Amino acid sequence: MISLTLVPTATWYLVLAAVLFSIGTFGVLVRRNPLVMFMCIELMLNAVNLTFVALARELNDINGQTIVFFVMVVAAAEVVVGLGIIVSIMRNRSALTADDLAELKG
């Protein structure tokens, strides 16, 4: 009798985190809509969070979970600032893509 018990190990979570991180990176690189890029960055951040939590549990080290809180707090603040900037830019210009904001080119 083969019992098919799937016991999730840390590796699963790490793989998942890697996949999420890659999707986020890919999204940032290919999408031009600032909002979507922003969401992709959040995705990357949370992939990292997942890594932290998985490893904290695996290594039995509370520090990993503590850092996650820091990341979440910083991410929340970042969302406020980032969204604020994006909204104020959107108000002035319609149909905006990230490539339109190239005023700082050398």
Partner 1 sequence: MLNLIWFIPLLPLAGAILNLILGRKLGDPRSGWVATIATGTSFLVTVLVYFEMLGLEAEERSHVEVLFSWLPVGSLQVDFALLADPLSIVMALFITGISTLIHLYAIGYMHGDAKFSKFFLYLNLFVFSMLMLVMGENLLVTFLGWEGVGACSYFLISFWHTRNSAAVAGKKAFVTNRIGDFGVMTAMFLAFSAVGSLSYGAINEAAHAGELASVTATAIAMLLFVGACGKSAQLPLYLWLPDAMEGPTPVSALIHAATMVTSGVFLMTRMNPVLHISYDWAPTVIAVVGAATALYAATVAVAQNDIKKVLAYSTVSQLGFMFLAIGSGAYVAAIFHMITHAFFKALLFLGSGSVIHGMHHEQDMRRMGALRKVMPVTGFTFIIGWLAIAGVPPFAGFWSKDEILLYVYANNRGLYVVGLVTALLTAYYMTRQVIMVFYGKARWNDNSAEHGAHGEITPHESPRVMLIPLIVLSVLSILGGAMQLPFSKDLHFLEHWLAPVVEESEAYIGKSWAYQNKYLLLLVAIVVAVSGILISISVYAKSKFKVIEPKILEQAWKYDHAVSRVVGGPGAATFNLIAWIDANIVDGIVNGVGELIRSVAGSVRRVQSGFVRTYALLISFGAVAILAWFLLRGVLL
Binding site for partner 1 (CB under 8 A): 25, 28-30, 32, 37, 98-99, 101-106
Which residues, other chains included, contact 89 with Cβ-Cβ below 8 Å and sequence gap of 6+?
34, 96, 101
Pick the closer one to partner 1 by CB: 14 or 57: 14
Pick the closer one to partner 1 by CB: 28 or 75: 28
Closest contact distance (angstroms) between CB of 3 and partner 1 is: 37
Alpha-carbon distances of 3 from 33, 40, 48, rounded to whole Å? 48, 39, 33
Closest contact distance (angstroms) between CB of 21 and partner 1 is: 11
